[in-house]
Amino acid sequence: MKPYVRPISAGWWLKRSSYLLFLLRELSSVFVAGYVVLFLLMIRQLAQGPAEYEAFMAALRSPLAILFHIVALAFALLHTITWFNLTPKAMAVWRGEERLPAAMMIVPNYVGWVVVSGVIAWFVLRG
């Protein structure tokens, strides 16, 4: 007379689209980390001198490198969007009996993101 324990399949995350999205969201951290490592490499080559830096920048122009960055950007955007949409869940802000609607915390994040991105772009691009 024994209870039956059903095994969990290794592909559990393929069973629902929400599980798949969850896994992709988690894997986005791999591409984010991959990018910042390349960024560090770029700084290191910058420190080594003009020839080394130029060689690195030339390598970034290869199709494989550009493809990596396009994929990385897609994952980075997945991270940004899911991060902004989910952070309000961790913060319950109350005004009397009403809880601050999630949108009031989400929208400023997006606005701030656009502003910060603009500032960074300006900083890097100015002559």
Partner 1 sequence: MAKSNEPIWWSLFSAGGVVAAFLVPIHIVLTGIAGPLGWLPAGALDYGKMADLVAHPVVRLYCFVLISLPLFHWAHRFRFTLVDLGVRGVDLLLAVVCYGAAIAGTLVAAGILWTF
Partner 2 sequence: MANKTIRLEILRYDPEKGSAPRFQNYEAPYHEEWVVLDAINYIKDQMDGTLAYRWSCRMGVCGSCGMMINGTPKLSCAAFLRDYYPNPIRVEPLANFPILRDLVIQLDDFMKKLVSIQPWIIRKEGEKPVKEGEYLQTPAQHARYKDFSMCINCMLCYAACPVYGLEPHFVGPAAIALAQRYNLDSRDEGRDIRQEVVSSHDGIWQCTFVGECSVVCPKHVDPAGAIQQAKLASTMDWYKSLLWPWGGK
Phi and psi dihedrals of 99, rounded to 5?
-95, 140
Judged by CB, which is closer to partner 2: 3, or 49?
A: 3
Give the contact letters, 36-75, x = binds to partner 1 (CB under 8 A), - = no: xxxxx-xxx-xx--x--xx--x--xx---xx-xxx-xx--
The identity of residue 24, as a single letter, is L
Q: How far is the CB of 85 from partner 1 (least distance, A)?
A: 11
- Residues 49-71 as b or e (16 or more Cβ within 10 Å = b): eeeebeebeeeeeeeeeeebbee
Residues of the shown chain interacting with partner 2 in the complex, contacts defined by CB under 8 A: 1-6, 8, 12-13, 15-16, 18-19, 22, 26, 86, 89-92, 94, 96-99
